[in-house]
Amino acid sequence: MPALTPPNNSSLATPKSSLGIQLPSGTPAIAHDLIHGADIGLFYAELDPVTIEMHSHRSHVQVSLLFKQAVCDLRWRAGGNEMQEERLKGAQLCIVAPKVEHGLRWKEKAGMVTFYVRPSFLRSFDCAKGDLHGVHIEDLALVAGHDPLTRHLTCVFETLCADRAAGHDREFVVAAGRVLTGRLLKFHIEGMRRGSRDGRLSRSQQRIVNQFMESNLHRGVCVEELTDLVSLSKAHFIRLFTRTYGAPPVRNHLVRRLQRAEDMITRTDCCILDAVERFGFCDQSYFNRAFLKHLNYRPGALLHLRAKLPQR
């Protein structure tokens, strides 16, 4: 990663320990390129392909914004210590809560800006516990809508990344970063709260829950694992989930596993017992009963259907 040119104005420079950001050892060029303000720190760069090892931040929220050709694989530990991975691309926003261990593999040379936000800044717009939990990945257009100021400030940082050779005023960079970060977090939190007010899971909560469910189709999940991901009580989560998806969470996840098993039996040469083992059912008898109850026919019918399909 090329080093950033130090900004012209150093009046806002403070010792790194005052912000307390802990970055992984060996992170190229980032540690000495951090710009420190009173309640946020930030860096911006056009990154070459690079891997940044797993790390976490004790009290800071990390907000990253990716530009244009960016391609990045983000890995993090979710509830129950499960490892999750998702690909990020340009024009996406990624928010990582404190104490969430995460790392990334940056695939393509492209610009990005990352903000490290102190708890005091979050309190300034009434950010409650649970508003920022785990990892949230969203399209910028969906978060900010058509807000012109957010769009313009995003373009400012995209230009900064591409024009590092020119010295940039620290006071301007920090002020612009503070406004942009505040608006992104405000829109994100309002979206999450609006989902709860509508009696449904918010867009971000749906994304988190879906990722966990799809990553655990090989076994059953319990409600407590899901509530830990989104910091909701068990009863409240079940109400929101059922209103959102039309079925309680455990049943929804069971049907997902049955549907994947259905697809596997239909499209491959596996037997029913293979699907039973693959998707973590205790025995074939239970699988047959669940299949009939939720999909309304017996799994053996799939074998007859498969026999009639053209050979691939």
In the numeric block, which tokens belong to residue 18?
A: 């005052």
Q: What is the pLDDT along the chain (312 residues), one digit of tens a residue?
A: 333 333 333 333 333 434 566 666 555 555 456 888 888 999 888 888 888 889 898 888 999 999 988 999 999 987 667 788 888 988 889 999 898 999 999 998 999 999 999 888 887 766 655 567 788 888 887 777 678 889 889 999 998 888 865 677 889 999 999 999 999 998 888 776 666 566 888 877 888 888 899 999 999 999 999 988 887 888 889 989 998 888 999 999 999 999 999 989 988 889 999 999 999 999 999 999 999 999 899 998 888 877 766 655
Per this entry, what is the length of the chain? 312
- For the chain, first and last CA: distance in Å? 48
Token representation of residue 99: 């104490």
Q: What DSSP line would sit under the chain, residue for residue?
A: -PPPPPPS--TT---HHHHT----TT-TTTGGG-EE-SSEEEEEEEEPSEEEEEE--SSPEEEEEE-TT-EEEEEEE-GGG-EEEEEEETTEEEEE-TT--EEEEE-S-EEEEEEEE-HHHHHTTT--TTSS-SEEEEEHHHHHTT-HHHHHHHHHHHHHHHTTTS---HHHHHHHHHHHHHHHHHHHHHHHHHHHHTTS--HHHHHHHHHHHHHTTTS---HHHHHHHHT--HHHHHHHHHHHHSS-HHHHHHHHHHHHHHHHHHHSS--HHHHHHHTT-S-HHHHHHHHHHHHSS-THHHHHHHHHSPP-
Provide the pLDDT for residue 233: 82
* pLDDT score at 195: 61
Q: Residue 144's pLDDT is what?
A: 76
Query: In the prediction, which pLDDT does 130 show?
Result: 56
Put simply, whether the predicted model's pTM sits higher than 0.85 gets the answer no
pLDDT of amino acid 31: 47
Is residue 230 within 8 A of residue 208, CB to CB? The reply is yes
Residue 51, strand partner residues: 105
What the chain holds in terms of domains, given with CATH numbers, is 16-197 (2.60.120.10), 203-308 (1.10.10.60)
- The radius of gyration of the chain's CA atoms, rounded to the nearest angstrom, is 23
Q: Which pairs with CB-CB distance under 8 Å and at least 24 residues apart come from 239-244?
A: 239/199, 240/195, 240/196, 240/199, 240/200, 240/201, 240/205, 241/201, 241/209, 243/199, 243/200, 244/200, 244/201, 244/206
